[in-house]
Amino acid sequence: MRGVRISHLMMALLVGTVVFQGIVSLSLMAVILNDTSTQYMTKQSRRSLAALEASLEAVMEELSIKAVLMGGQKRIVDFSRYGLLNLLHRELAEARLTSRVDYLSVEAGPRVFGESSSEGLPGLPRDPGREIPPGPEASLERVGDLVFATVRTPLLHDEEPLGILTARIVLDHDFLASLEGVIDARVVLVSDNLILSSGEGWSPDHLEALRSDARQGTLQVGRWRSRYYLETLPLRSSLTIPGYLVSVTDGSNIFDLATRYQLVVLVVVGITSCVALLVGYLLYRNAFRRPLEALLEGVRQVARGNLAFRITTPVKNELLDLARAINSMCDDLVIRDEQIGELNRYLTLILQSVASGIVVTDQRGQITQCNEAARELFSLPDLGRVQYPLLVSSLPPAVAELFAEYLAGIESNQPGASREIPVATPRGERLLGVHLSRLLEEEGRCIGIVMVLDDRTEVRTLQEKLAVSARLAALGEMTSGVAHQIRNPLGIMSVSAQMLAEQLEQRELSDQARELLRVILSEVATLRDLAERFLTFGRPLSARPVPVEAGRLLEDLRASLPREAAVTMEIPPDLPPILVDETLFSQALSNLLTNSFEALQEEGGEVFLEVVQESGDFALVIVEDTGPGIPREILEKIYNPFFTTKVKGNGLGLSIVHRCLEVQGIAMEIASGPRGGCRVALRVPLAGGQGDGAGGDEA
């Protein structure tokens, strides 16, 4: 189900409340008006009915009084006793006119009868067997289409009953009109097949409807035909019940007034509802919707990172408190962001300042962060600019393999893994120390891996040089003693051999003997030269660096070489003097050039001597040949004493060169050159510079 906005719910609730209130108000007002109208009409109709009943009783009582008075008149009694019908008829006529009754008759046995009636009223049938009542009797009687109010009273002579005097008033249009004038309502006499009314303001349809309801027995008290209100009075009679006197109260004015009131209430409630809706909408818009929209816009701006946005709302309610709370939260977030930014900047500076490469990954092997040292080491792109995930598989295979092995066993809570791995980098092949460890949250859950990369190439080179220096120092001490012990016997042997040769010169010797003597002297000389080299190697050296013109020194060195040794030299004309011990430096260069010439004896080639000034306070003195070069597998052994690949070599040349350069603080690097042979680069300090010769070994 799709969600509904709270603002729409509020508006719907407001509209529903107003509409519901209007409907309830209209319903209640309609009920109240109808009930009020009904109660008023009921009271009015009941008053009319009470007045009608009282009027009818008054008529019957008056008629009874008249009948009693006429029954006590002496003439009527005497005329009735003696059967004087003409006189009785005349007396009855006078009495009827005087008493204002419509019919007057006397019954005195089977032979005496007299009557008098208004014009147009037919005579009534006699009943000779009627018993004389003991006193007046009042009743309603119907004779044909006429209804009478009848009173019968006895005729007495000396308290002896003679007959019955009957007085009648016809209930006709005039009588009903007189009743209507008294009770202020319309009166209708209704029976099963008879209906009488005053004849004023009544339509035949209404009269016929009343008679039909009376005939069917459905005539009920209450509202009738929407406009009238009925009350019925049963007509009591000693013979038959002729029907009902119906009090019909016309409620058109009341009901029309109630309808008008309802219309007025409807209009008032409608206008009030519209005004309430308008006022409610304005309140809803100004006090709820607009502040809510301002809050929503503020939240969107904060979500976009615009913490400087401030929510403003004119209302002073809970929404204003919420807006102030959000603004205060934004201020706190700005301060927190500044603190976090400063902390991140500080951590970034620390991370970028670390010489070791640092790579952070998640548990899937995706690189999430790395510092500048790691990017330069592996030529990685900036993580903020790549559009694709950078994986550990993009690192060198050996590093990626170590990472995969560590990741496979990370669930075993292993503390870390370390390994030295040779890796090809833009700076050449380097020896990296790779250390892997888990990245843990505060709860101890692993969320990634931290890889620390140390370039151990220079450290390993320095370690190897220190090892060579230590071996050379130990060997120097040993060879010094050996050389002293060998040199003295060799001196005696050499002098003895020379004296023997002088003595033998006076005699004739065979060529074979002469050759053997020459060999002995030659080998003794070789042994003496070797002993001298041992002494030189084992003797402690001390350097006295002085500024030396490189061009002069190298020219003197080339002049001391054999003529067949051709050297191509390149020296910058504006090169400053170099700071070296001239004797030791010349001896080192001489040995290096000798090695190059010896490497070219079989196949031929060229030897190059070049000086290159670096951007700092150093110069590179490079000796390079086009010979076969030095294989990689023996590069680590070339400084070892007595290690040589030459047939007649003794393996002390490079060891002596190393000692001559080391005592001056001159770094030496041996590698394969671009011309295919061996390339030796010496990093020499310049006179007047700040270099001390202890810099790196890079050529």
Token code pair at residue 244 = 């009902």
- Which residue type sits at 691? G
Domain boundaries, the chain: 72-170, 175-254, 305-350, 354-455, 461-538, 546-685
Q: If you average pLDDT over residues 326-352, what whole number do you get? A: 80
Strand ranges, E, within 27-159: 103-108, 112-117, 137-143, 146-157
Residue 133 predicted with pLDDT over 80 = yes
Q: How far apart are CA 105 and CA 89, in angstroms?
A: 8
What are the tens digits of pLDDT across the range 42-79?
787 788 878 878 888 888 888 888 888 888 888 888 88
Per the CB < 8 A criterion, the answer to whether 610 and 592 are in contact is no
Return the CATH number of 354-455, one of 2.60.120.590, 3.40.50.720, 3.40.50.300, 3.30.450.20: 3.30.450.20
Q: How far apart are CA 462 and CA 467, in angstroms?
A: 8
Q: How far apart are CA 164 and CA 23, in angstroms?
A: 70
Of 79-93, 207-221, 435-449, 561-575, the range with the lowest mean pLDDT is 207-221
CA dist list (Å): 698 to 131, 428, 592, 695: 165, 11, 18, 9
Q: How far apart are CA 533 and CA 659, in angstroms?
A: 13
What are the tens digits of pLDDT across the range 518-544?
667 766 766 666 566 555 555 556 678
CA dist list (Å): 653 to 508, 581, 656: 42, 18, 5
Name beta bridge partners: 168: 103, 150
What are the tens digits of pLDDT across the range 612-624?
888 778 889 998 8
Residue 686 predicted with pLDDT over 60 = yes
Token code pair at residue 317 = 């309610």
Q: If you average pLDDT over residues 4-26, what whole number do you get? A: 72
Residue 442 predicted with pLDDT over 60 = yes
CA 216 to centroid of chain Cα atoms: 76
- Looking at residue 154, its pLDDT comes to 92
- Cα-trace Rg, the chain: 74
What are the tens digits of pLDDT across the range 230-260?
777 777 665 555 677 787 777 777 777 777 7
Q: How far apart are CA 168 and CA 161, in angstroms?
A: 21
Residue 599 predicted with pLDDT over 80 = no
Please count the CA atoms within 13 angstroms of the CA of 650 that sit on its side-chain side.
14
Higher pLDDT, 144 or 622: 622
**Distance between terminal CA atoms of the chain?**
75
Q: What's the mean pLDDT when you consider all of the chain? A: 75
Token code pair at residue 452 = 């620390």
DSSP secondary structure letters along 315-359 = --SHHHHHHHHHHHHHHHHHHHHHHHHHHHHHHHHHHHH-SSEEE
Residue 515 predicted with pLDDT over 60 = yes
Q: How far apart are CA 595 and CA 558, in angstroms?
A: 14
Residue 637 predicted with pLDDT over 60 = no
Tell whether domain 546-685 is in CATH 1.10.150.120: no
Q: If you average pLDDT over residues 219-223, what whole number do you get? A: 74
Q: Of 232, 264, 237, which Cα lies nearest the Cα of 248?
A: 232
Residue 389 predicted with pLDDT over 50 = yes
- Looking at residue 466, its pLDDT comes to 66
Token code pair at residue 335 = 């301060």
Please count the CA atoms within 13 angstroms of the CA of 190 that sit on its side-chain side.
28
Output the CA angle 307-310-311, nearest 5 degrees.
130
3-state SS, residue 1? coil
- Which residue type sits at 555? E
Output the CA angle 537-542-543, nearest 5 degrees.
115
Beta pairing class for 567-570 and 607-613: parallel
- Looking at residue 73, its pLDDT comes to 87
Question: Residue 465: which pLDDT band, with cuts at 50, 70 and 90?
Answer: low
Residue 694 predicted with pLDDT over 60 = no
Global model pTM greater than 0.85: no
Residue 553 predicted with pLDDT over 80 = yes
Beta pairing class for 137-143 and 146-157: antiparallel
Per the CB < 8 A criterion, the answer to whether 115 and 106 are in contact is yes
- Looking at residue 180, its pLDDT comes to 77
Token code pair at residue 58 = 């008054």
Q: Of 186, 200, 192, 279, which Cα lies nearest the Cα of 230?
A: 186
- Looking at residue 696, its pLDDT comes to 35
Residues sharing a CB contact under 8 Å with residue 638, sequence separation 6 or more, in sequence order: 630, 654, 670
Q: Of 325, 287, 293, 331, which Cα lies nearest the Cα of 309?
A: 331
- Looking at residue 206, its pLDDT comes to 75
Higher pLDDT, 160 or 697: 160
Q: If you average pLDDT over residues 82-107, what whole number do you get? A: 87
Residue 215 predicted with pLDDT over 60 = yes
Q: How far apart are CA 490 and CA 334, in angstroms?
A: 90
Q: How far apart are CA 349 and CA 52, in angstroms?
A: 114
Q: How far apart are CA 663 and CA 686, in angstroms?
A: 17
- Looking at residue 505, its pLDDT comes to 65
Q: If you average pLDDT over residues 425-436, what whole number do you get? A: 75
Per the CB < 8 A criterion, the answer to whether 115 and 103 are in contact is yes
Within this chain, domains 354-455 and 546-685 share the same CATH topology: no
Q: How far apart are CA 121 and CA 611, in angstroms?
A: 170
Is the Cα torsion angle 119, 125, 127, 128 positive or negative in sign? Answer: positive
Question: Residue 342: which pLDDT band, with cuts at 50, 70 and 90?
Answer: confident
Q: How far apart are CA 196 and CA 186, in angstroms?
A: 11
| Residue listed under structure tokens 């059967």 | 83
Q: What is the DSSP-derived secondary structure letter of residue 285?
A: I
Higher pLDDT, 141 or 503: 141
Q: Which CATH number is associated with domain 72-170?
A: 3.30.450.20
Q: How far apart are CA 229 and CA 258, in angstroms?
A: 15
- Looking at residue 691, its pLDDT comes to 46
Token code pair at residue 586 = 């010349």
